[in-house]
Amino acid sequence: MSVFDAFYKALKGKQVLVYSGLFKDARKKLKNGELDYLKEVDPTEYIYQIFYTWNKKEYLASEIFDLTESEEQEINHQMIDEIEEEK
C-alpha cells in the first residue's frame, strides 16, 4: 500500500474543522450578518463598466460604458465580501 493510499483512507470522510465554543457563536453571528459592522467598506468610486478581451499576450479594453445612476448606487460603497465558505 502506498503512502498516498494510506493517507487517503485515513482522512476520507473526516471533518477537517469543527467550530465549537466561542468560534461556534461567532460563526453564527457572521452568517446572520451581526458582524457586518466589522467589515471594511470599499472606498472606490466605480463609474465605468469595462470589458476586456485577450489578445495573444495582453488584455485590451474592448468596450467601455458609463454606469447608470442605479448601477452606481448598487455597486459603490459596498462592504468588501469575504471568500465564500464551503458547505
pLDDT, tens digit, 9 for 90 and up, residues 11-62: 877 776 777 888 888 888 888 989 888 888 888 888 999 999 998 899 999 9
Query: What pLDDT is attached to residue 59?
Result: 93
- What number of other Cβ atoms are within 10 A of residue 46's Cβ? 14
Strands 58-66 and 48-55: antiparallel
The pLDDT of 65-73, averaged and rounded, is: 91
Pair 62, 43: CB distance under 8 Å: no
Assess whether pLDDT exceeds 70 at residue 82: no
Rounded CA-CA distance 27/32 in Å is: 9
Predicted structure pTM score: 0.44
